[in-house]
Structures are given as structure tokens and as C-alpha cells.
Structure 1
Amino acid sequence: MSTKVVFCWSNISGYMAACWRALHLLPDIDVFVIAFQARTQTAFSDQLMQGIPCRLLNLQERQEANLVKSLVLAESPDVVILSGWFHQPYRHLAFASELSHTALIMGMDTPWWGTWKQHLTRWILHSFLQRMDRVVVSGERSWQYASHLGISPAKIVRGLYGIDYNAWFSLWEQRLHTSWPRSFLFVGRYVSAKAIDLLAEAYQLYRSQVSDPWKLVCCGQGPLSSQLQGQPGIDNCGFLQPTEMQKIWQAAGAFLLPSRFDPWPLALVEAAAAGLPIVCTDACGSAVEVIRPGYNGLMIPKDNLEALAKALLILHQRYGDLSTWGKRSQQLAAPYAADIWASRWRELIHDLILDKTSQVKHKQ
């Protein structure tokens, strides 16, 4: 008999679709996903969810708590997984009497910064957090936050996210068929949090220091798009669906993510899986897991123009090491493969069901 698992998620993505699909392929896990419908042409396409039982909510539906609850109850779930506490209709599920015997898991990727708002969260969400049977965190920084929220270490599990590792793995070897590309790649939203303005300025500073500058390819969309337009050496490709990105990744020589704030960017993990050296700031949460400075990339302070320009110059000067750095990146990304993610979650779900059953018997 299979275990019914319902994910209540926010936006769909290529990496989560790969993970859900891998979990659903396991014979003893029955997956159903409730998530937000793609709203614009610059969102991940709903077609990503092909083959995954799901219900995608439009703008109005996602705010209707009764609808969300009815969709969950219709699946008669053994386990309900919530994507954090930010969405009120999902948060209400923790208090639904009809789900009192259902195991509840919350995911979180927010890092611990020690702000007063984070300290307050522990008290504001106390009753909600107490209802969680497990909290799955993305990495060490979010583990720290979960601990500060008063969640027992026995309830905290690492490994919230995974990626379609097999889709990226061959790219490193493909680059070796010709000379390693002399180009930088940025993938992300064109917003202040991603420091797209600083990237454009640092890139121009780098160009002024070399006679044969590499180009900078940017893929994304956002209000700061104008920062990239008409800039020497910058190729703005706009937003592309995952299926359109393979050639872009293959043609890249190194990946850049100069974020000012980025809880646990999957782009770093995907870039590592693609076999790229990486430059990122210490504001990128996933850097803790997939970046080893001087081994497969460089980590720099956020909001530091000179440090970012110097990092580009270092990659330029160490061109002969980039393929080796890229191979090391793949090794660090390997634990996040979707099939490994699915196995990890399967074990978590089965252990939780056993615990829940044991608790019920004990109360009787």
C-alpha cells in the first residue's frame, strides 16, 4: 500500500518538478502537488508538471483557504508538506481538525541572520511550529534558524531541495570537446537583491583591466534590465525556459551570482552540476554547501565592487584551472540529484509514518 503525500507549494520550478517526479516514480509513494499556476511568460511553464498529479492554483484560488483545504482533504493524505509559513491558506491547514492525525512537514530555506524580526517569529508562529512533526531545511544556515525557532534538533532534517542532476552532468564533458569557453554567465532575476547593478559595473571594471575581456551572458528578467542594455561585452538573453537553457550553460566558462540577499539559491547548485567554476557572495546560502573557495570557486563579500571585479580577473588569469574547478563543482552538487532527494524523502516519510502510528497506539 502506497503512502499518500500532498505538497502545498508556492511557485513551480524545473528543479522541484524533477524532484516530485522522482518521488512519484517510487512504487510506495503517491504524490499530489498543489502549487501556484504560472502567471506570466517570465514564469516557469506549467508544462514542467507533466506526469505529476497536481492542481495549479490561479491568483484568486491560491487565496481561498477553504478551497485549498478541500483539495488537500480530497486526497486523504498520510503526509502534508507545507512550503514554509508565508502563505496563510497553507498555514491554516496545520489547525484543520480533519488533518489532526495527518503527519505535517514544513520546509524552510530562510537563513538565520539574528534580526529582531526573526527573534519575534518564534513567538508569533509558536503554535503553528509546534504542530509540525518535521522541519526540513535547505542547509546549515536555515538549520540555525530552525534551531533558534525552538524546534527540537530531532525534528530538523536537512535536504529540502534537489535538482535534475542528470540533465546538467554531461555539460562539463561537452565543453571539453572544444577549448573551455571564455565567458561568464549570470542566471537570475534582474533585481537589486541579485545585485545586477553591481555586476554590470564590476564587469566593466574587469574589462578595463584586460586586453581580451570575456563576454558576460545574462539570462533573466526584471526591473533592472536596463542596467545591462547597450553595455560593452554584455549579452542580455532575457528569460528562458529550462529547455532553452542547455546551450547557454554549455557555452559558459564560469558562473556569477553576486547577490545581496539569497536564502538558498538553486542556481548555484545547478551551476555546480553543470560543471562550472563559481563566483558568489557570502550572502548566498547554498554557497555553504557547494562552494569551496580556491577549490571550485570564489566567495566574496556582498556589495563589494572591487572584490567582484577582482574575482572575474582571477578566473580570467586562471583559465587553465577552470575545467578542474568545474569537475570539482560537480562532485559537490552530486548529493542534490533528484533520485537521491527522492530516496531521502522516502525514508523521512516512512520514518514519520511509523512515529505517528506509534504515537497513536501509545495514546490508546
Structure 2
Amino acid sequence: MSTKQFLYLYREVNPYNIPVLREIVKQGYEVTCIHETKKKLVPYNVPELKNVTFYERKDFDQVSLNQLVLSIEPNVAYVSDITIPMYNKAAKLLRKTNGTPVIMGFDTQWRGGRQWANVITSWFRHRLYFSHVLIAGMRQYEYAKRLGFKNNQILWPLNSADVDTFLKVPLSFEKFKGHRKFLYVGRFANVKGLKYLLEAWSGIKNKKGATLTLVGNGPLRSKLESYDDVIIRDFMSQEELVKLGAETSCFVLPSTFEPWALVIHEFAAAGLPLLLTNACGAASHFLINNYNGFLVNSNSHEQLRIAMEKVINSSDKKLFEFGERSREFAKSITPKMVAYAITSAEVKSI
């Protein structure tokens, strides 16, 4: 029996894609991955993987890409970013020529407005290129339905943290004794709500020795460095974040717009209480307010301040229980689940 083929048309391979690719290979597929290597502040070097061949998107034009995907004859294909025209055209070709199941990755929440144009044109765009849609969570389901995908064409989950890596963070009662350390990880950009986080932090009258660490980089870095009582650190590898998570009491993400935010899954797996805004798409899956953390409205430094004070004044026992519950939520999505969700598009209904 010949080896099955899987085609992965991706914008940019990240560390959390690698466990998924390994799981797809375990299912008996040979993987062809076309992606883009971006110049990052902390570049990610894609590792060599058995039965996975990586190509750079810059090395293809539309004709050569079409030739490659047709020669592969994939059993199933996945397009991570539908804003890349050459990927969409290749997807259309596979659908028309071979009837290949082609999945679109989808983390966009339904907000209405301009999105109605996509709904109206879905028969000529999304439905023409793609047989299935792979969604991040419940907030993406409504949009997928409006685009015309049937229930059996909507797959889940879209992505997963490298859960096993972040489960290595020790979770013990002693972790929360005697200190409260808040951690933010992400871009230093306005959409991340850092303005509201710093206003909230400055408004806490008695921090009781609590600290705030911001990990990342971006256009707001120089402004953030003007705060004497805030620790600024550069982007880190996952292994470095695991070590930092072992020293942290609460993960906070104050975003004003966030389709999903995989980082929430990572630090839920690390066993941290979560403090999130309702703009974070992943909050609906990984956080229940006052069960494993606190949910606040976006664009509100006052609600953030109150929530941070709740963390500071919570008992060690309560925060430890929050951390345990976060870790249980994190186990509900794994790279293996993502891999099987993708390849399920090839499986005929029984």
C-alpha cells in the first residue's frame, strides 16, 4: 500500500506546529509543507522531521506551486492562511482536478460589518476553494455556518499548544506561597491592551511585594521601559517560558482584540491562574470566571486593577486550585487531536 500524502500550505511554521506534524506522520502520511520564514527578533529554526519536507514559499510562483501540488497528489490538504492568493488558487486546482479534501484554518470571530461581504461571496470564494473549515473554538462556529459550511464540514480544534512541554512546569502548593508574580507574554502593541494593564498596575495602592513581568517585543517597548517597577524581557523560547512559568503566580492577557491567543493554552498547561479580557477568543474555552481565574471587560483598566488585587489578596490555596483547574482545561486540546481533526476530512462518513 502506498504512503498517504498530506499537503500543508502554511504562512509561517511555529514551534506549536511541529508536534502536530509529528502526529500526522504517525498516522502514515508523508508531509509536504510550504511556508514562509520571516525575519523575527528571535528567529525560529524549523527542525528536520522524518517524512516531512519543507519548502520556502518565496521559491515558488503560481505555476510551479500548482505543478508541485498536483505531482504530490495529496490525500488531504490544509491551508492555514486564506489571505494568500497563490495558496487559494492551488486549493481550487486540487478540488477541481482531484476532488481533494482541502481544509481552511479559521480563527476569525463573527463581528458582522464588513464580514457580510465574505458571507455574500462565499460561494465564489471559500466554498469554491475549500471542502472543510477547521475552527479554533465556539466563537468561530457562527461565522463558519454563515459562510455556508455544514456541520459535518466544520472541524475542531484548529491548533494546540505543545501541551507536553508546558506540563513540565511544576505545580505545587509551595509555588504560590509568599509572592504574587504576574506574567504577560506577547507583542508589545496597542491591540494587546498593555496601556490598560499598566494603568491597572499603577493604580494598585498596596502591591504587597507583587511583580509584573512583560515578555516580548514591539513598537511599545520604549514606553514600557519607562516604568521602574515593571520587568521587561525579550521574546523567549518555549523552554525558557517553561522555566519562567515555574516562577509565576498568574498569567494576564489584557488584549482589546484577540481572535484566539494560543499563549493562553500554553500557560493554562503550565498550571497558572488566568486573568483575561473578554476579547480573547480562547477565554471561552480555557477560563471560567472565578473558577480558574478572572475574566474582565477589555478596555477597562479599572476592572483589570480590581482583578489583579483579587489575585494579590487571594489565599495560596485558592490560587493553587485555580492552577490545577487551568491545567485540566489545557488537557482538553492536544496536538494529536489537531492532527486527527485535520486528517478526518479524508475519512468518509460511516
TM-score of the alignment, normalized to the shorter chain, above 0.5: yes
* Mapped pair 1:336 → 2:333: yes
Matching residue within 94, 98, 101 for 2:99: 101
Q: Deviations over 1:304-338 (max 9, x none)?
A: 01001111101111142111101100111102122
- Partner residue, 1:79: 76
Unaligned runs of 5+ in 1: 359-364
Q: What does 1:283-302 correspond to in 2, within 5 Å? A: 283-302=279-298
1:335 and 1:211 map into 2 onto residues whose CA distance is 34
- Partner residue, 1:5: 6
Q: Deviations over 1:177-225 (max 9, x none)?
A: 683752000000011111122222221112xx21524111111111011
Deviation at 1:22, TM superposition (A): 2.2
Q: Which moved more, 1:296-305 or 1:30-39?
A: 30-39
2:45 and 2:143 map into 1 onto residues whose CA distance is 32
1:65 and 1:180 map into 2 onto residues whose CA distance is 59
2:245 and 2:47 map into 1 onto residues whose CA distance is 19
1:49–1:308: structure 2 CA closer, same or farther, 3 Å change rule? farther
- Partner residue, 2:276: 280
Q: Deviations over 1:240-280 (max 9, x none)?
A: 22232221111111000000110011011111011000011
Q: What does 1:254-273 correspond to in 2, within 5 Å? A: 254-273=250-269
Q: What does 1:302-321 correspond to in 2, within 5 Å? A: 302-320=298-316, 321=318
Matching residue within 88, 92, 97 for 2:89: 92
Q: What does 1:138-153 correspond to in 2, within 5 Å? A: 138-153=136-151
Partner AA of 2:213 in structure 1:
V
1:145 and 1:250 map into 2 onto residues whose CA distance is 38
Partner AA of 2:33 in structure 1:
V
* Mapped pair 1:29 → 2:29: yes
Q: CA RMSD in A?
A: 2.3
Deviation at 1:176, TM superposition (A): 4.0
* Mapped pair 1:38 → 2:38: yes
Identity %: 24
1:175–1:248: structure 2 CA closer, same or farther, 3 Å change rule? farther
The secondary structure found in structure 1 opposite 2:182 is strand
Q: Which moved more, 1:96-105 or 1:264-273?
A: 96-105
Deviation at 1:18, TM superposition (A): 1.9
1:91 and 1:16 map into 2 onto residues whose CA distance is 20
Q: Is the 8 A contact 2:155 2:341 kept in 1?
A: no
Q: Which moved more, 1:180-189 or 1:166-175?
A: 166-175
Higher normalized helix content (fraction of residues): 1
1:345–1:94: structure 2 CA closer, same or farther, 3 Å change rule? closer
Deviation at 1:299, TM superposition (A): 0.9
1:21 and 1:74 map into 2 onto residues whose CA distance is 23
Partner AA of 2:215 in structure 1:
C
1:282 and 1:192 map into 2 onto residues whose CA distance is 16
- Partner residue, 1:220: 216
Q: What does 1:189-228 correspond to in 2, within 5 Å? A: 189-206=187-204, 209-228=205-224
Matching residue within 167, 170, 192 for 2:168: 170
Partner AA of 1:278 in structure 2:
L
1:54–1:311: structure 2 CA closer, same or farther, 3 Å change rule? farther
2:225 and 2:292 map into 1 onto residues whose CA distance is 30
2:253 and 2:331 map into 1 onto residues whose CA distance is 20
Partner AA of 1:308 in structure 2:
L
1:159–1:283: structure 2 CA closer, same or farther, 3 Å change rule? same
Q: Is the 8 A contact 1:172 1:326 kept in 2?
A: no
- Partner residue, 1:242: 238
The secondary structure found in structure 1 opposite 2:226 is coil
Q: Which moved more, 1:145-154 or 1:47-56?
A: 47-56
- Partner residue, 1:18: 19
Unaligned runs of 5+ in 2: none
| Count of aligned pairs between the two proteins | 346
Q: Is the 8 A contact 2:13 2:46 kept in 1?
A: no
Q: Is the 8 A contact 2:172 2:320 kept in 1?
A: no
2:167 and 2:178 map into 1 onto residues whose CA distance is 16
Partner AA of 1:134 in structure 2:
H
1:298 and 1:177 map into 2 onto residues whose CA distance is 19
- Partner residue, 1:362: none
Partner AA of 1:30 in structure 2:
E
2:274 and 2:281 map into 1 onto residues whose CA distance is 14
1:93–1:180: structure 2 CA closer, same or farther, 3 Å change rule? farther
